[in-house]
Structure 1
Amino acid sequence: MKIGNLNLDNKVFLSPMAGVTDLPFRLICKEQDCGMLYTEMVNAKALCYDDQNTKKMLKIEEEEHPVAIQIFGSDPEYMGGAAKILNSYPNEILDINMGCPAPKVVKNGDGSALLKNPELAAKVLRAVVDNSEKPVTLKIRKGWDDTCINAVEIAKIAQDCGISAIAVHGRTREQYYSGKADWDIIKEVKQNVSIPVIGNGDVFEVEDAINMLNKTNCDAIMIGRGAQGNPWIFKRINHYMQTGEILPDPTLEEKIDTAMKHLKLAVQEHGEYVAVREMRKHIAWYLKGLRNSAKVRDEINKIESYEEVVNKLKGYMQDCLTLE
């Protein structure tokens, strides 16, 4: 798998997710053989104004590479300015967000709102490509809504503007994450451009990844919600592609140990107060589907100290193992 001048070891990537793909989670996914990590999306305008909270999101550790930093915005000047600033950062790829469906993003004309304005989208793409010394990629959705399905049009524009690869989520903005992802649109984009196409949407199991590759002929797969509480998905997909064998699901111990390791990394990165609260959703994802996990999730949501969360998780694991 190659994007621009960058050779990648494998073609199973972590999708950028606001409030999820911070440094600790990326490190956990990297351990599980993720082919490329993406940061949370970063506001280009805030970056140009040297906002310190924004810059904190851009911390990249040596063991993460390769990493893509994702920026969002609809002002070509700020987007180009952000690209210039990021030339000095250690990321290998610069990614542009034209897929985020969040109301607070689209109300400013950013994210997936740009799909409604191909002319402005082209200006944004050119500004970033012209100012970046690194390969620039783009993430889009199928379209804005059922009356505006224009992923192929946007992909062609992107290719003409010098974009090195494009990720396509098979839902419209209006769908958010509901309904079923349309993989046919990924196939259609792949048939209409010569740059690599990354498929995104509804990959939750090894079989989903293989089906997407077979159905769309896409060059790589990007996994978002399917990796929440399930970082093993990257290793399991890669293992299947190399051997044809499906590895067993992670054990209860693996899930709890990983949750605790993730929590420890989060405390180191964000401090105990923030980390314990931020990790509540991750722990809920790790425990999802496990025996009697609802009770322990509720209890953890009320705990404020790192040590108490760890003790609660260890106690829960012990109880489960005793019941076996």
Structure 2
Amino acid sequence: MQIGPHVLRNNIFVAPMAGVTDRPFRQLCKELGAGYAVSEMAASNRKLWDTEKSARRTNHEGEMEPKSVQIAGADPEMLAECAKHNVDRGAQIIDINMGCPVKKVCNAWCGSALLQHESLVGQILDAVVAAVDVPVTLKFRTGWDRANKNALNIARMAESAGIAMLTLHGRTRADGYKGDAEYETIAAVKAAVSIPVVANGDITTPEKARHVLQVTGADAIMIGRAAQGRPWIFREIDHFLRTGSYLPPPLISEVSRLMDEHLRAHYAFYGEFLGVRTARKHIGWYVQDLVGGEAFRQEMNLLTSCEEQLDAVKMFFDSQVGERLQYRPAEEKMAA
């Protein structure tokens, strides 16, 4: 799998998720088998570039290459400037967000709201591709709603504009994250263009990963929610796709070590005050399917220092019985 000059070690990618795929999490996923990861979306508004939040979202110091930044906005010129700004800061790939379904993003005519205006989509694609000398990719949805699906049109426009890779989440904006992903639409897009296509949506297990690659013909898959609290899903899928066999669930001792490393990197990245608070969701995801996990999550949310949080997590995992974790299947968790 290749994006421009960048040869990736596999075709299993981490989806950009606001508030989740910060540098520590991306790096952990890469260490655990992901072949590629994209940052949280960075605002194209120049006034926001120097804010602490924006600076963190585009911070790739020490991260495994290639370093990819997702940008969001609705103005072609501003998006082009944002792309150049991030390339100057070390981005090796620019990804354009036309897939986010969140109201506050769509209300600003960004994200998947852009799919309603194909002429504007074309202007954005042309402007960003012309502005930088690195590969530009596009993440989008199948359309605005089921009555207005235009993924094929957008895909052809993107290929003509010089987009290097497409990632298609198999839902419309109106679907949000409900219902089943439209793998048939991803297959149609793959058949319509010659550039790489990445399938995204509802990929939760090694078997589902293989199925999606087979039915869509996609070049790669992208995993989002199923990796929350389960970053080792990437090595599980990679192993299964290569060998047809399953890796055993991780040992409790390994998960405890991974969490400790993740949390320490998280605190170093955010600082103690914000780090403790933003780490709570990650800890909650790690423990939600374990015995006593919900009670522990509620108690842990009251802790206000890094050391307290680290000690509490270690004690919780030390108290777990059995050598390996026993999780509910990821598709059951996502449906709950």
| TM bin (shorter chain) | over 0.9
Corresponding residue for residue 75 of structure 2: 75
Corresponding residue for residue 182 of structure 2: 182
Deviation at 1:66, TM superposition (A): 1.6
Instruction: For structure 1, list consecutive stretches of 5 or more residues without a partner in the other structure.
Output: none
Corresponding residue for residue 253 of structure 1: 253
Corresponding residue for residue 221 of structure 1: 221
Deviation at 1:323, TM superposition (A): 11
Question: Aligned with 2:16: secondary structure?
Answer: coil
Q: Is the 8 A contact 2:252 2:323 kept in 1?
A: no
Q: Please identify, of 172-181 and 109-118, the stretch whose mean Cα deviation from structure 2 is larger.
A: 172-181
Question: Aligned with 1:320: secondary structure?
Answer: coil
Corresponding residue for residue 5 of structure 1: 5
| Counterpart-to-counterpart distance in 2, 1:74 and 1:282 | 31
Question: Aligned with 1:42: secondary structure?
Answer: strand
In the alignment, residue 159 of structure 2 is paired with which amino acid? Answer: Q
In the alignment, residue 191 of structure 1 is paired with which amino acid? Answer: A
In the alignment, residue 305 of structure 2 is paired with which amino acid? Answer: S
Given the superposition, is the C-alpha separation of residues 320 and 54 from structure 1 closer, same or farther in structure 2, using an over 3 Å criterion? same
1:108-163 Cα distance to aligned partner (Å, 9 max, x none): 11000000101001000110000011000000011111111111111111111110
Task: Indicate yes or no: 2:306 matched with 1:302.
Answer: no
Question: Aligned with 1:190: secondary structure?
Answer: helix
Question: TM-score when scaled to structure 2?
Answer: 0.92
Question: Aligned with 2:215: secondary structure?
Answer: helix
Corresponding residue for residue 125 of structure 1: 125
In the alignment, residue 221 of structure 2 is paired with which amino acid? Answer: I
Corresponding residue for residue 86 of structure 2: 86
RMSD between aligned residues: 1.7
Q: Is the 8 A contact 1:46 1:54 kept in 2?
A: no
Question: Aligned with 2:97: secondary structure?
Answer: strand
| Counterpart-to-counterpart distance in 1, 2:292 and 2:162 | 52
1:244-302 Cα distance to aligned partner (Å, 9 max, x none): 22101223332232222211111111111111110111111111211111110111111
Task: Indicate yes or no: 2:164 matched with 1:164.
Answer: yes
Instruction: For structure 2, list consecutive stretches of 5 or more residues without a partner in the other structure.
Output: 325-336
Corresponding residue for residue 36 of structure 1: 36
Corresponding residue for residue 146 of structure 1: 146
In the alignment, residue 287 of structure 1 is paired with which amino acid? Answer: V
Question: Aligned with 2:94: secondary structure?
Answer: strand
Deviation at 1:322, TM superposition (A): 8.1
| Counterpart-to-counterpart distance in 2, 1:304 and 1:257 | 21
Corresponding residue for residue 243 of structure 1: 243
| Counterpart-to-counterpart distance in 2, 1:228 and 1:177 | 15
Corresponding residue for residue 173 of structure 1: 173
Q: Please identify, of 43-52 and 4-13, the stretch whose mean Cα deviation from structure 2 is larger.
A: 43-52
Deviation at 1:203, TM superposition (A): 0.8
1:297-321 Cα distance to aligned partner (Å, 9 max, x none): 1111111111111221122122223
In the alignment, residue 14 of structure 1 is paired with which amino acid? Answer: V
Question: Aligned with 1:171: secondary structure?
Answer: coil
Question: Aligned with 2:59: secondary structure?
Answer: coil
Given the superposition, is the C-alpha separation of residues 118 and 186 from structure 1 closer, same or farther in structure 2, using an over 3 Å criterion? same
Task: Indicate yes or no: 2:60 matched with 1:60.
Answer: yes
Task: Indicate yes or no: 2:13 matched with 1:23.
Answer: no
Q: Is the 8 A contact 2:43 2:49 kept in 1?
A: no
| Counterpart-to-counterpart distance in 2, 1:41 and 1:273 | 23
Q: Is the 8 A contact 1:35 1:66 kept in 2?
A: no
Q: Please identify, of 180-189 and 13-22, the stretch whose mean Cα deviation from structure 2 is larger.
A: 180-189
Corresponding residue for residue 116 of structure 2: 116
Given the superposition, is the C-alpha separation of residues 115 and 319 from structure 1 closer, same or farther in structure 2, using an over 3 Å criterion? same
Question: Aligned with 1:144: secondary structure?
Answer: strand
Task: Indicate yes or no: 2:101 matched with 1:101.
Answer: yes
Q: Please identify, of 238-247 and 314-323, the stretch whose mean Cα deviation from structure 2 is larger.
A: 314-323
Question: TM-score when scaled to structure 1?
Answer: 0.96
Corresponding residue for residue 275 of structure 1: 275
In the alignment, residue 308 of structure 1 is paired with which amino acid? Answer: E
In the alignment, residue 141 of structure 2 is paired with which amino acid? Answer: R
Q: Is the 8 A contact 2:181 2:202 kept in 1?
A: yes
Q: Please identify, of 219-228 and 301-310, the stretch whose mean Cα deviation from structure 2 is larger.
A: 301-310
Q: How many residues align?
A: 324
| Counterpart-to-counterpart distance in 2, 1:140 and 1:291 | 38
Given the superposition, is the C-alpha separation of residues 310 and 52 from structure 1 closer, same or farther in structure 2, using an over 3 Å criterion? closer
In the alignment, residue 199 of structure 1 is paired with which amino acid? Answer: A
Deviation at 1:9, TM superposition (A): 1.4
1:196-223 Cα distance to aligned partner (Å, 9 max, x none): 0000000111111111101101001111
